[in-house]
Amino acid sequence: MHSFELFLPDNIKDASLRGGPNAVFKAAGTDLLDRLKERIENPETLINLLEFKKDLAGINPQAGGFDIGSLTSIHDIASSASLAGPEWRALKQAAETTATPQIRNRGTLGGNLLQKTRCWYLRSEAFKCLHGGRGPSCLAVDGENRYHSVMGTLDCMRVHPSNLAPALYVLGAELSTQSGEESNRFPIAELYPELPLASEAEHTLSDNEILTHIHIPAAVTGTSTAYVESREKLSFDWATTAAAVLLVMKGKAILSGRICLGAVAPNPIPCDQAAEMLAGQDASMELFGKVAAAAYAKAVPLAQNEYKIELGKAVLRDALAQASGLR
Amino acid sequence: MKNEHEMRVGFAGDNRKIKVDVPEGDLTPWDLDTKLESVGGRSDRIDAFAKVTGRAKYAYDINLPGMLHGIILRSPHPRGSVKSVDLSKTLDMPGVKAAVVMKQGERNRIRYVGDPVAAIAADTLDQARDALSAIVAEYEIEAHNVELLAAEGAPNLNENNISDPWPVPRPAARRRPADPDMELEVSEADVSAEGTWSMEVQTHSSLESHGNVVWYKKETDSAEIWASTQATFGARQALASALDIPQDRVTVRAEFVGGGFGSKFTPGEEGMACALLSKQANAPVKLMLDRFEEHTCTGNRPSAVIQIRAGAKKDGTVVAWDTRSFGGPGCNGRGGSTSHHTNYFDNAKHRRIHVDLATDTDASRAMRAPGRPQGVFAMEGMMDILAAKCGLDPLAFRLLNDNSELRKAEWQLGAEKFGWAEHYNASPGSGEDPRYLRGAGMASAFWGGMGGGKHRVTCRIHRDGSVESRNGAQDIGTGMKTLMAMLTAEELGISPEQIRVSMGNTNDPPGPASGGSTTTPSLSPAVRHAAGLAKQELGAKVAERLQVDANKIIWQNGHIGLQGGEMIPFQEACKLIGAEPIEATGIRQANYDGYQDNVCGCQFAAVRVDRETGLVLVEKMLGVQDCGLVINQKLAESQVIGAMIEGISYVLHEQRIMDPKQGRMLNGDFANYKIAGTLDMPEMEAIMYSVANGKNNVGAAGLGEPPSTAAPAAVANAVSNALGLPMRSMPITPDKVLAALHSKKK
């Protein structure tokens, strides 16, 4: 890696004030360290947010929901007794499937939401990747694209790798950030760029904006959630497709639902139209099949990833079946 | 001089007495009637504690005062030549102490992305990496191809079957008797089938990367080297030559080696570079490769496409077997040969034709049973297809055609212990579980590995009772050090914990390169011989003390003395030794004719296939394996289980993915090069099948490679059984499973 200045701030404000175009915030650093060593990230200053971990780690009940600090470890979410109910299950399932025990112990919720894509063209400086600012066009378009996007793309075929983001989407999470003295609160959808161009980062935070808390609102009676992802192996793999769902049930009847897909597009993809098909219906695999088809209706595969569409539908059906109690 | 000796050899189903010629001075060979104490037990590895606590020092762990860090400039282009390399600017960069050009003159061809061009050494690795960008290299770039099926001479692939052009044997192979007319043989069989199997490049993925620490010392014109190697003596020879100094001034150490799997037989270009840099700088230089270099520049198991056409009689007897294959060994254009054993069709008309196709990628290297897992994957796949066509269960079909009595016994034992009847899906492709399809598969193993060579081992017994067993070859993780302790302890009638073993230092007696499953069978007879000679010397001292004839002395329960008379504990007997220890050198004698020259085995796998996501999970796996005399049950089982783990990973996950345009590997890291992990592991069992092979005084056979030949095929056949469709393309990833399930619906 290139040499850099390591800044150890006392508090969020100091950290934020040191932010800028040539600085990088570091949470656990599980991925950042790799990118530094590969020299695809070459900051002048590294700002270590773990200095004030005690202020930003923890799962605190709040008005029937939770405020979760952005530096809470993935393991703490996966093992939290507070999140044991069916209404929070999607979040726990997403946390449990993340990476490895070592990374779950160290890695943070904030880091998971703000991850860089795993696209192999981005992650090697030898490739003239558009998203990496090294070339004129996306190499995955007609390159090796078995793991790339099947929807929601513009000029970059990357997929968003966060498995916790889809779960937080369906839970209706909001995020708090701080920039200097100023704090801000907004729905999770606004964390991701409206138009995920290659020139856009994976998230919309500004250079000096620090994600501090994730707020999960209270759940309506009858809420049940689930998160399912497909992968090629069970130990340490990235999802090939993922789905998080929230259902509000009364007996067998679904009063309303929410769906968010992961690992199939540059952003997590909420599927409101497909979710509307659930409202007022009785849970059945037939219904879930139709909903899954609708969620993927606009998917357009690249040369090597058509399988992801069928797989994505299966995963979504499974998530709906789990949330509704059919499985 | 040789002495005729009668010994009982074989296995439970076939044991008999044979006569062997034991060389003069050798020990009486162990056989089925020998009662052994330490040998055959389940001792832990003697270096287990050092390894798990990090005290074991690998080449990668060596850090010396004033040590420089080396790095290699590698070609970003897959094919062409180097026109010029200018090092002048890089030598002015901070910390840079030495720089060498590795492509010049007539040796300037670029053969793959990663081909070494130059190397530099600097005070820190980051300085070295910074200085790389100051090397000015000019290339002449040529059009490239990294894909096997786009190579010159590649066959067409229609409907997943290869067709013209067919491979023709190389001229050298034409000296064989004329091949049978396989067209005719296959077409005239009662039952026939054909199919094409394909497989991708697998990388060795050793945990410790390739590399060395070379410390050249100008004052003495000598060198000390720490190497990650499978051949300490080969490394000494090659690196002495690179340093241009006599071999007697070079010591190579490899006390611990973090895996090699066939890729570490030579110091390679990284070793040459390290030696030259150290000599230029007159300082120790560490040059260990990074993970991307490891995946792309240190060899691999080559890709292949294999077509088989085979025929059988109505009763299931195989009568014709024709294998035509293409291998993808990369830029050297050879070494990609796939192979299989012929136990099923030795009595049938059979032929095998193979041709390698060159691509502009890293040259393949030996990898744990080179070519064999590939060939067996195809062969065992075809066995199941033919069995089904003959209306026979896969087990019955194999028992009918296998000509190895030993393996037949293993098939039966394995099928019973595994529960073949219970796990095999008699209605392939269907099942009651709405979510998962289940199936089982089996495959055979076969290998040689009886060892040989003129290796030597030193055994020392000291006055204080401590005992050493020493050899200069390396233990690459098979547990050879532990075996040396057990064999020495057995011979001396003491406990293995009392033996201190040294391996991996070329100042000790010469030993083999670890390849072809030969280290254990090659060294073990010399280990025992050394201990036996030392024992005779100590026995003579006891005889002198007791004033009796040396041949009256017996060794029993850790005591030495006279039958029914005075018995002295080993520790006490050692006090008869002076300041100079007893030192004996054991010699590896040539093998006897013996009972047999190969080992057999078989493996069974049960899988679960998710109908919706295409994910294959291996639920259970069992291997039966013989390897002559089993010296340590636990280590032997560990080899078999390790091979099954590696096989599961290979058949389900591993593949090198290349960007064809740039000719560069895309998944050259452990994040994207997928290797099975703990959650992907089934319940596993290894059953060692003991055979007295009568080959030497110990009778051990190599075990590194044999079990790895069967594992991928057993799993693939299980998936095929679950799906009711032959899965003929490795790795069997979810996209391929989903496509297969789709094809069934149509």
Helix or strand run (H / E) with residue B520: helix B519-546
Looking at residue A107, its amino acid is G
How many Cα atoms within 13 Å fall on the side-chain side of residue B252?
Answer: 32
Query: How is residue B390 written in tokens?
Result: 């003959």
Task: Note whether A311 contacts B674, CB cutoff 8 Å.
Answer: no
How confident is the model at residue B165, as a pLDDT? 80
Residues 6+ apart with CB under 8 A from B503: B255, B470, B471, B472, B473, B474, B475, B480, B481, B484, B511
Instruction: Give the orientation angle of helix A285-295 with respect to helix A307-324, to 10 degrees.
Output: 140
Q: Is the Cβ of B734 closer than 8 Å to some Cβ of chain A?
A: yes
Helix or strand run (H / E) with residue A259: strand A253-262
Burial environment of residue B296 by CB neighbours within 10 A (0 to 12, 13 to 18, 19 or more):
buried
Which residues on neighbouring strands pair with residue B119, listed in sequence order? B72, B100
How confident is the model at residue B699, as a pLDDT? 96
Instruction: Give the orientation angle of helix B394-401 with respect to helix B372-389, to 10 degrees.
Output: 110
Task: Note whether B666 contacts A121, CB cutoff 8 Å.
Answer: yes
Tell me which residues of chain A have a pLDDT lower than 70. Answer: none
Within 8 A of B742 by CB-CB distance, chain A residues are: 310
* Gap from B618 CA to chain A (nearest CA, Å): 11
Domain ranges in chain A are 5-51, 53-114+167-216
pLDDT confidence band for B171 (50 / 70 / 90): low
In chain A, DSSP finds a helix count (H) and a strand count (E) of: 11, 13
* Gap from A289 CA to chain B (nearest CA, Å): 12
Within 8 A of B615 by CB-CB distance, chain A residues are: 230-232, 234
Instruction: Classify domain B161-202+301-449+596-745 by CATH number.
Output: 3.30.365.10
Residue limits of CATH 3.30.365.10 in chain B = 59-74+79-143+210-288, 161-202+301-449+596-745
Task: Determine the Cα–Cα distance for residues B209 and B669; give it in Å rounded to an integer.
Answer: 12
Query: How is residue A76 written in tokens?
Result: 């703490």
Tell whether the torsion through CA atoms of B591, B592, B595 and B596 is positive or negative. positive
For the CA atoms of A212, A218, A222, A226, what is the dihedral angle to 10 degrees? 0
Please tell me which of the candidates A39, A120, A311 has its beta carbon nearest to residue B738.
A311
Residues 6+ apart with CB under 8 A from B604: B414, B415, B418, B420, B423, B440, B441, B442, B620, B621, B622, B623, B714
Supply angle C-alpha A238, A243, A244, rounded to 5. Answer: 115
Task: Determine the Cα–Cα distance for residues B444 and A170; give it in Å rounded to an integer.
Answer: 51
Q: Is the Cβ of B666 closer than 8 Å to some Cβ of chain A?
A: yes
Q: Is the Cβ of B23 closer than 8 Å to some Cβ of chain A?
A: no
How confident is the model at residue B628, as a pLDDT? 96
Supply angle C-alpha B170, B171, B173, rounded to 5. Answer: 70
* Gap from A54 CA to chain B (nearest CA, Å): 30
How confident is the model at residue B168, as a pLDDT? 74
Tell whether the torsion through CA atoms of B28, B29, B31 and B37 is positive or negative. positive
Which residues on neighbouring strands pair with residue B138, listed in sequence order? B84
Q: How many residues does chain A have?
A: 327
Task: Determine the Cα–Cα distance for residues B699 and B692; give it in Å rounded to an integer.
Answer: 6
Q: How far is CA B63 from CA B2, B59, B214, B287, B413, in A?
A: 51, 9, 11, 11, 51
Residues 6+ apart with CB under 8 A from B572: none
Task: Determine the Cα–Cα distance for residues A70 and A59; give it in Å rounded to an integer.
Answer: 10
Please tell me which of the candidates B76, B129, B677 has its beta carbon nearest to residue A236.
B677
Task: Determine the Cα–Cα distance for residues A58 and A69; give it in Å rounded to an integer.
Answer: 5
pLDDT digits (tens, 9 = 90+) for B311-322: 999 999 999 999
Please tell me which of the candidates A233, A240, A317 has its beta carbon nearest to residue B676.
A233
Q: Which of B28, B37, B24 is nearest to B8 (CA)?
A: B28
Three-state DSSP at B635 gives helix
Burial environment of residue B61 by CB neighbours within 10 A (0 to 12, 13 to 18, 19 or more):
middle
DSSP string, B298-359: S-EEPEEEEEEEEEE-TTS-EEEEEEEEEEEEETT--S-------TTTTTSEEEEEEEEEE-
pLDDT confidence band for B169 (50 / 70 / 90): low
Q: Quickly tell me which residue has 């679960």 as its tokens.
A: B608
Task: Note whether A120 contacts B658, CB cutoff 8 Å.
Answer: no
Contact A158, A200 (CB under 8 A): no
Mutate to test the interface with A, among B290, B657, B735 (most CBs of A within 10 A): B735
Contact B185, B264 (CB under 8 A): no
Which residues on neighbouring strands pair with residue B622, listed in sequence order? B604, B685
pLDDT confidence band for B180 (50 / 70 / 90): confident
Task: Note whether A232 contacts B126, CB cutoff 8 Å.
Answer: no
ipTM for this prediction: 0.97
A 129-168 near B (Cβ less than 8 A): 139, 143-144, 146
Which residues on neighbouring strands pair with residue B94, listed in sequence order? none
Task: Tell which phi-psi region holds residue A236, choosing left (phi > 0), alpha (psi between -120 and 50) or beta.
Answer: left
Q: Compute the average pLDDT of residues B384-404.
A: 98
Within 8 A of B664 by CB-CB distance, chain A residues are: 124, 126-127
Query: How is residue B53 written in tokens?
Result: 């606590």
Q: For domain A5-51, give its CATH number from 3.40.50.11740, 3.30.420.40, 3.30.43.10, 3.30.470.20.
A: 3.30.43.10
Would the pLDDT of B170 be above 90? no
Query: Residue A123: how many CB atoms within 10 A of its CB?
Result: 21
Backbone phi and psi for residue A156, each to the nearest 5 degrees, phi listed first: -145, 130
Q: For domain A53-114+167-216, give its CATH number from 3.90.190.20, 3.40.50.300, 3.30.70.270, 3.30.465.10.
A: 3.30.465.10
Mutate to test the interface with B, among A123, A233, A322 (most CBs of B within 10 A): A233
B 675-714 near A (Cβ less than 8 A): 676-680
pLDDT digits (tens, 9 = 90+) for B132-149: 999 999 999 999 999 999
Contact B306, B196 (CB under 8 A): yes
pLDDT confidence band for B676 (50 / 70 / 90): very high
DSSP string, B65-105: TT-EEEEEEE-SSSSEEEEEEE-HHHHTSTTEEEEEE-SBT
* Gap from A296 CA to chain B (nearest CA, Å): 16
Q: Please state the three-class secondary structure of B405-428 as a single string.
A: HHHHHHHHHHHHHHCHHHHCCCCC
Q: For domain B59-74+79-143+210-288, give its CATH number from 3.30.420.40, 3.30.365.10, 3.40.50.1000, 3.90.190.20.
A: 3.30.365.10
pLDDT confidence band for B627 (50 / 70 / 90): very high
Task: Determine the Cα–Cα distance for residues A234 and A237; give it in Å rounded to an integer.
Answer: 7
A 242-271 near B (Cβ less than 8 A): none
Task: Determine the Cα–Cα distance for residues A147 and A232; give it in Å rounded to an integer.
Answer: 11
Contact B587, B420 (CB under 8 A): no
Would the pLDDT of B176 be above 80? no
Counted across chains A and B, CB pairs separated by less than 8 A come out at 79
Task: Determine the Cα–Cα distance for residues B665 and B685; give it in Å rounded to an integer.
Answer: 36
- Alpha helices, DSSP H, located in A42-100: 53-56, 74-78, 89-97
Report the first-to-last Cα separation within chain A, whole angstroms: 48
